[in-house]
Amino acid sequence: MIEIAAAIVPICRLTDTVGRWGGEEFLIICPETSCEGAMILAEKVRKAVESLPLHRYGTVTISLGVTCSKLDDDINTVIQRADKALYLAKSAGRNQVRSMQSTTHQLSLDEDAVELFRN
């Protein structure tokens, strides 16, 4: 997990928050980012992890779920949607990026939500 985190962090911007979520999952919060931008970042992360030289494990891949926050979202609904997108990526064969998009305007998560993931 340390090697994977070390591959993810340099790809992200200084304004992004990267953290461990659960056992083998990571969460990246990307404020002021379009859904398209988040998908591009997720694909860069996927490729970086796939190319890691982790000889003792063989080839390691990662599945990613992407979503954007909506006006009526709270942190729980954003996480639920990202988790559904992750499940879609895993069930579609793994080593890919899937998204659950919203149809309303996007918002960046507030500072309280970002702080929750930093702790």
| Residues with a known catalytic role | 24
Contacts of 54 (CB under 8 A, 6+ apart): 3, 60
As a whole number of angstroms, the distance between CA 1 and CA 53 comes to: 13
Q: Where are the alpha helices (DSSP H) in 1-119?
A: 2-8, 35-50, 75-91, 111-118
